[in-house]
Structure 1
């Protein structure tokens, strides 16, 4: 199972003057989880990558709760017109909208702004784990699903749960057989893995860079269609190990639906200027992301198509009817 984005988007770089700077008063990026996970990573891309293109530095603020639900609701109630703030989202956020975890609001209640890049799912264990390969995990899932404690930053129906569910299905079982522990963000799930509370983390490749460097964890498989570039080039994909599981993650930002066109365009201009530079591509690579550069109307169109595909997947998994 996979989420596919327009192939042209992976290499898209909008021709904009790299020296242009947008004037935004006290720019802020909201990471809607605790520090250390994918939303944190996404905001750091904006913080570093947009620095040359804004007249003030981007401040990162954490707003945990409901894997993005608290932030989504706040920007649909009392911050709908906040022109200084952007909020990190991922493909998992879109899935949460679909299954109703963000309440009555949907994808039409925010303004989709720009992308940070593309990330991919990963199957991760501690460095000293008894699991030496993805096959070891899959064999245990097939023999006794309850013997494997899987955890991630999201409840049942989230994108991290979905990764585990797809692995469970590939092992010959059903998603509801999986022994799954939910955490409020990837940082908390990583801490639980390192502390021994869970055995397998179905997270994201981009989150792994500092932990691979420290030798604390090992990635048994990436859920990408092909092997990724360094530092992940030595990690096999699930597909090449014989398991047909893919999960591509769009990482990006939205704003409140009542933000003025002028404020919205100032941010779009900053992203488009950044996309045109090698420096932004380097920031993406350092964070384990591939270039998926979409902003404004192009991103909104991509989101609409993605929502249709995710609704089909959620229906297949029994999450919605």
Structure 2
């Protein structure tokens, strides 16, 4: 199973072509102050889940890049608004804070998958304004550090031999990207994915804690969130990455599922959107600033440190990508009988 973004090299080519011309970052404060809301002194990044997961890391990486740029009047604030793996924030952004130019909301490929399945209610992908994607994350699968499961082949064999004894747990409900990763593992083991034992958590942080305590045995997640928890000493072992090539940083020694004989590739775009009524001046200023930080010396290093690959798309380019990806996810959801 392969879900890949179209032409992954295109964003790099566009970024290099435009980098020399990017000079609007310093103009961001004026552009944001032109709105009726507070300016960059109150800029905040909203994490649509509990702390400790991929959304959390997305906001922390953006905060680091934006704070270092010096373009904002004060450090970016981070706020946590869990609920529905992003559904609550999506609705609130559209209904209550549609013109709040200072609010950036983190999204991932999982958000787009939920939109494709109508899990965000009546709101579609064109209900918000897509600002920028900063990184391409990839799926991984982890077990407890002391688990007898040492690699992906062991995991598949264990699910095949005793499926009712293996409990999966992740930060997403049935139909989420982490559930689909679990279903792909079940398929690799020739086991009916609909019978899989799966526990849903409100974010990757809770799932890692459950894995450490032995409440669940397998956690399908993303490279960035597992890298973050490994840095903090989490008692987990990553047994495979769902990437085409090995990942950088702490996961460099982890073989891909492909290396271990299973064609599973799952990329996860990570970025930000704003409300539908944010005016063009503020929206364009955000796009330009993210374009500037993505061309900085810190950008690639920061992505690699956190287990992600640099992948910038902004404004209209990102909007087109989101539209195509939601349709691709819709097709995938039908294959899993989720629509």
Q: TM-score range by the shorter chain?
A: over 0.9
Q: Distance in 1 between matches of 2:225 and 2:47?
A: 14
Shift of 1:228: 1.6
Q: Which residue of 1 aligns with 2:36?
A: none
Using structure 1 for the length normalisation, give the TM-score.
Answer: 0.96
Q: Which residue of 2 aligns with 1:173?
A: 191
Shift of 1:260: 0.6
Match of 2:128 among 107, 110, 114: 110
Q: Distance in 2 between matches of 1:199 and 1:10?
A: 38
Could you tell which deviates more after superposition, 54-63 or 90-99?
54-63
Q: Which residue of 1 aligns with 2:57?
A: 41
3-state SS of the aligned residue for 1:235? Answer: coil
Q: Kindly tell me: are residues 143 and 10 of structure 1, through their superposed partners in 2, closer, same or farther at Cα, counting changes over 3 Å?
A: farther
- Superposed, 1:72-91 pairs within 5 Å as 72-91=90-109
The answer on whether the counterparts of 2:137 and 2:308 sit within 8 Å (CA) in structure 1 is yes
**Can you give the 5+ residue segments of structure 1 that lack an aligned partner in the other structure?**
none
RMSD: 1.5
**Can you give the 5+ residue segments of structure 2 that lack an aligned partner in the other structure?**
33-38
3-state SS of the aligned residue for 1:197? Answer: coil
Deviations 1:86-136 (A, max 9, x none): 100111111111112111101010101001201000110111112111112
Q: Distance in 2 between matches of 1:183 and 1:69?
A: 14
Moved over 3 A (4+): 16-20
Shift of 1:33: 0.3
Q: Distance in 2 between matches of 1:19 and 1:288?
A: 29
Using structure 2 for the length normalisation, give the TM-score.
Answer: 0.91
Q: Distance in 2 between matches of 1:244 and 1:4?
A: 13
Q: Distance in 2 between matches of 1:19 and 1:97?
A: 32
Q: Which residue of 1 aligns with 2:9?
A: 8
Shift of 1:277: 1.1
**How many equivalent pairs are there?**
320
Shift of 1:212: 2.8
3-state SS of the aligned residue for 1:240? Answer: coil
Could you tell which deviates more after superposition, 34-43 or 129-138?
129-138
Q: Kindly tell me: are residues 306 and 108 of structure 1, through their superposed partners in 2, closer, same or farther at Cα, counting changes over 3 Å?
A: same
The answer on whether the counterparts of 1:54 and 1:270 sit within 8 Å (CA) in structure 2 is no
Q: Which residue of 1 aligns with 2:303?
A: 284
3-state SS of the aligned residue for 1:161? Answer: helix
Shift of 1:56: 2.6
Q: Which residue of 2 aligns with 1:195?
A: 213
The answer on whether the counterparts of 2:241 and 2:257 sit within 8 Å (CA) in structure 1 is yes
Match of 1:293 among 305, 309, 312: 312
Q: Distance in 2 between matches of 1:272 and 1:20?
A: 8
- Superposed, 1:20-59 pairs within 5 Å as 20-21=25-26, 22-23=28-29, 24=32, 25=39, 26-51=42-67, 52=69, 53-59=71-77
Q: Which residue of 2 aligns with 1:60?
A: 78
The answer on whether the counterparts of 2:169 and 2:216 sit within 8 Å (CA) in structure 1 is yes
Q: Distance in 1 between matches of 2:149 and 2:10?
A: 36
Q: Distance in 1 between matches of 2:8 and 2:54?
A: 23
Q: Which residue of 2 aligns with 1:218?
A: 237
Q: Distance in 1 between matches of 2:46 and 2:25?
A: 24
Could you tell which deviates more after superposition, 165-174 or 225-234?
225-234
3-state SS of the aligned residue for 2:292? Answer: helix
The answer on whether the counterparts of 1:32 and 1:62 sit within 8 Å (CA) in structure 2 is yes
Q: Distance in 2 between matches of 1:310 and 1:19?
A: 34
The answer on whether the counterparts of 2:25 and 2:285 sit within 8 Å (CA) in structure 1 is no
Shift of 1:19: 8.5
Q: Distance in 2 between matches of 1:210 and 1:306?
A: 27
3-state SS of the aligned residue for 1:173? Answer: coil
Q: Which residue of 1 aligns with 2:289?
A: 270
Q: Which residue of 2 aligns with 1:256?
A: 275
Q: Distance in 2 between matches of 1:178 and 1:27?
A: 42
The answer on whether the counterparts of 2:212 and 2:234 sit within 8 Å (CA) in structure 1 is no
Q: Distance in 2 between matches of 1:77 and 1:19?
A: 30
Q: Distance in 2 between matches of 1:89 and 1:19?
A: 24
